[in-house]
Structure 1
Amino acid sequence: MNSKRLLITGVGPGTGAAIVRRFADGGYDVAMVARNEQRLKKIESEIRGTKAFPVDVTDSASFAETLDRIFGDFGPPDVVIHNAVGGAFGNFLQIDPAILERNFHVNVTAFLALARRVAPAMIEAGAGAIIATGNTSALRGKSNFAGFAPTKAAQRILAEAIARELGPKGIHVAYLVIDAVIDVEWTRAARPDAPDDFFILPADIAGELWHVAHQPRSAWSFYLEVRPFKETW
């Protein structure tokens, strides 16, 4: 096993897989969490030092058991990235409240459970990094994002509360806002006429997360934004 370990939730074909590859290339063993076991197993077969832990993070009991298994198989992680995301489109009259509740569970409750599980070992070690990936829904409540934005805003505030608690104990907590359309197959299909520089590349997001996870203690960031150079903001 390598000397460093990453635990990441929400490993999909875009950003999640790119993060896994970047940290594996950087010498980390990577514990991958997502619902899709087939996808995780494929990545596991392609990238050395990775291991699949399929689970739905909204199943609190199963998620807790999976985290215990990761600690048993890998040991405590040095870096944790909560990339799992629950989203939905619709205004407040259209959304099903149950969808909002599920999104809250993915974006906030699972992040809380994850941070609570990994923090004690990091506190004992006096080091570690916990990072959540967000988007501009964490900053503003647009009409069509009523079932999504409230949960991402809560996630951002939770991350800040965790950062204020753990920072003085030597643990770096950060929140990365991705203000962009991520370059994956379904976003390309939805915008077939968009130029290449309209999209943000998953590998570049992963590169920024690598940078944040390895910032020197004298210059830690908490809140960061990334966007393509042409993005209006």
Structure 2
Amino acid sequence: MTGKPVALITGVGPGTGSALARRFAKGGYAVAMLARDGERLSALESELPDARAFVCDVSKEDEIAATVNQVTETMGAVEVFVHNAVGGAWGSFLEIDPKTLAMNFQVNTMALLHFAQALAPKMIEAGRGAIIVTGNTSAHRGKAYFAGFAPTKAAQRILAEAMARDLGPKGVHVAYVTIDAVIDVPWTRERFKDAPGDFFIKPAAIADEAWHVAHQDKSAWSFNVEIRPFGENW
């Protein structure tokens, strides 16, 4: 126990997840960082004060339960939960493997449910807390080639809204941050080689907005938050 508030972040990869961990650590949180890649987590753990790495496959309910227990026992009750882990796939409904859609549903939607059920009671008891979900445009529309992905993000957003309506009056803020952009990470730079720098959204900027939403005044809470580069055609 560090005496600091605790933030639990899923999907701590090289882009948005790492940026979120850095932002909350900078803001004075002890950060529980979850991902399947223990090696990458260890490198970030050594960089950030009071951050701890937890290897967890969020598609598995038993691993979620065990990890939440570890976090609360070693770090304390979680005040901010950011569900950033994502399962994605591309293809039309005729092309996708139904098992892929089911797996993405486990990561995007069911994991949110399992974590929220485990973490929200302590937040309700304390009368404060925040649950932030990072989403994308697929949560709002079903384009043809996103059939293996968009349905699960739409379900995720609706689940988050149901949670927000339930938890808000109890002092717990739930928000859905839609990232309507291509995130600036090495593989997207490679894919969009000719795109100007302003085409991409910076992971640190996403993290700043998630931080802001998690700390909004109770008199002005947001639920649907959309962020995009200034040049994005929407």
Give the TM bin, normalised by the shorter chain.
Answer: over 0.9
Measured in 2, the distance between the counterparts of 1:59 and 1:161 equals: 23
Deviation digits for residues 134-170 of structure 1, max 9, x if unmatched?
Answer: 0000000000000000000000000000000000000
Measured in 1, the distance between the counterparts of 2:129 and 2:77 equals: 10
Contact 1:2 1:28 in 2 (8 A): no
Amino acid at match of 2:130: A
Correspondence 1:96 to 2:97 = yes
TM-score (norm 1): 0.99
Measured in 2, the distance between the counterparts of 1:85 and 1:219 equals: 28
Deviation digits for residues 42-87 of structure 1, max 9, x if unmatched?
Answer: 1001111110000101121122111111110111111000000000
Q: Residue 169 of structure 2 corresponds to which residue in structure 1?
A: 168
Q: Residue 75 of structure 1 corresponds to which residue in structure 2?
A: 76
- TM alignment of 1:18-29, pairs within 5 A: 18-29=19-30
Measured in 1, the distance between the counterparts of 2:118 and 2:38 equals: 23
Q: Residue 112 of structure 2 corresponds to which residue in structure 1?
A: 111
Correspondence 1:184 to 2:185 = yes
TM-score (norm 2): 0.99
Q: Residue 217 of structure 2 corresponds to which residue in structure 1?
A: 216
Measured in 1, the distance between the counterparts of 2:26 and 2:4 equals: 13
Contact 1:126 1:169 in 2 (8 A): yes
Report the aligned-residue RMSD: 0.6
Amino acid at match of 2:232: E
Query: Residue 107 of structure 1: CA displacement?
Result: 0.2
Which consecutive segments of 4 or more residues in structure 1 shift more than 4 A? none
Correspondence 1:156 to 2:157 = yes
Contact 1:2 1:27 in 2 (8 A): no
Return 5+ residue gaps in structure 1 as ranges: none
Query: Residue 3 of structure 1: CA displacement?
Result: 2.3
Amino acid at match of 1:95: I
Query: Residue 2 of structure 1: CA displacement?
Result: 4.2
Q: Residue 7 of structure 2 corresponds to which residue in structure 1?
A: 6
Return 5+ residue gaps in structure 2 as ranges: none
Measured in 2, the distance between the counterparts of 1:49 and 1:190 equals: 35
Measured in 2, the distance between the counterparts of 1:157 and 1:191 equals: 31
Measured in 1, the distance between the counterparts of 2:113 and 2:38 equals: 23
